[in-house]
């Protein structure tokens, strides 16, 4: 069975698609079979591509960027092994959508996986500039080693191919 991870931000056009593409590549480079996608707590941008500044930040760093925004649905809790919120507001919203304690326990904050994080929130770069999008990319990348270790712990079969 494939381990499944999803990243969730507000509109699914900045932070969560960036995390999706970055983490997908790092997991592939580790040889781990993990399905990765993303969504938003709100459906304002459903069907739209990622923000052009997200796409530019991803491409500058050599990542893919194809994306169509979608809204997280409560029925998806059983689909995922790990649901990663990009800030505490998303974390709270997701946990309130969960029907059971096991579903709530799947919800984690991305920066929990970065032992050097000074805040658990990945700030929304939407109203910012290029530097804000690059900062988000760096924060996501800093959390990946801890996230990969957690995936290996939760899913022993998530071993290299």
Average pLDDT over residues 65-82: 97
d(CA 37, CA 157): 20
Domain count, the chain: 1
Domain that holds residue 130: 3-154
SS (H, E, C) 12-37: CCCHHHHHHHHHHHHHHHCCCCEEEE
Average pLDDT over residues 15-32: 97
Q: Are strands 34-40 and 82-85 parallel, antiparallel or unpaired?
A: unpaired
Query: Is a pLDDT exceeding 90 seen at residue 158?
Result: no
Taking Cα atoms as reference points, which of 7, 1, 35 lies closest to residue 20? 7
161 within some domain? no
Query: Is a pLDDT exceeding 50 seen at residue 161?
Result: no
Predicted local confidence at residue 156, as pLDDT: 58
Residue 14 is among the residues annotated as catalytic for this protein: no
Query: Is a pLDDT exceeding 60 seen at residue 12?
Result: yes
138 within some domain? yes
- Which CATH number characterizes residue 79's domain? 3.40.50.2300
State pLDDT tens for residues 95-143.
999 999 999 999 999 999 999 999 999 999 999 999 999 999 999 999 9
pTM to 2 decimal places: 0.95
Would you state the torsion angle of the CA atoms of residues 136, 137, 138, 140, taken in this order, to the nearest 10 degrees?
80
159 within some domain? no
Residue 118 is among the residues annotated as catalytic for this protein: no
Set 9, 14, 51, 137: catalytic member: 9
What average pLDDT does the structure give for the chain? 95
Average pLDDT over residues 78-88: 98
Residue 15 is among the residues annotated as catalytic for this protein: yes
160 within some domain? no
Set 4, 124, 135, 152: catalytic member: 124
Predicted local confidence at residue 79, as pLDDT: 97
């Amino acid at each position: 069975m494939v381990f499944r991870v999803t990243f969730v931000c507000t509109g699914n056009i900045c932070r969560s698609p960036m995390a999706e593409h970055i983490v997908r590549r790092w997991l592939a480079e580790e040889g781990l079979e993990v399905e990765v996608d993303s969504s938003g707590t709100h459906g304002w941008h459903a069907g739209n591509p990622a923000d052009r500044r997200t796409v530019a930040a991803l491409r500058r760093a050599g990542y893919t960027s194809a994306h169509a925004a979608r809204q997280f649905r409560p029925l998806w809790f059983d689909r995922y092994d790990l649901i990663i919120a990009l800030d505490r507001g998303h974390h709270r919203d997701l946990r309130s959508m969960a029907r059971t304690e096991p579903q709530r326990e799947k919800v984690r904050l991305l920066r929990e996986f970065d032992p050097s994080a000074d805040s658990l929130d990945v700030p929304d770069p939407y109203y910012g500039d290029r530097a804000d999008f690059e900062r988000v990319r760096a924060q996501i990348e800093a959390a990946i080693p801890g996230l990969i270790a957690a995936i290996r712990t939760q899913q022993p079969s998530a071993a290299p191919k």
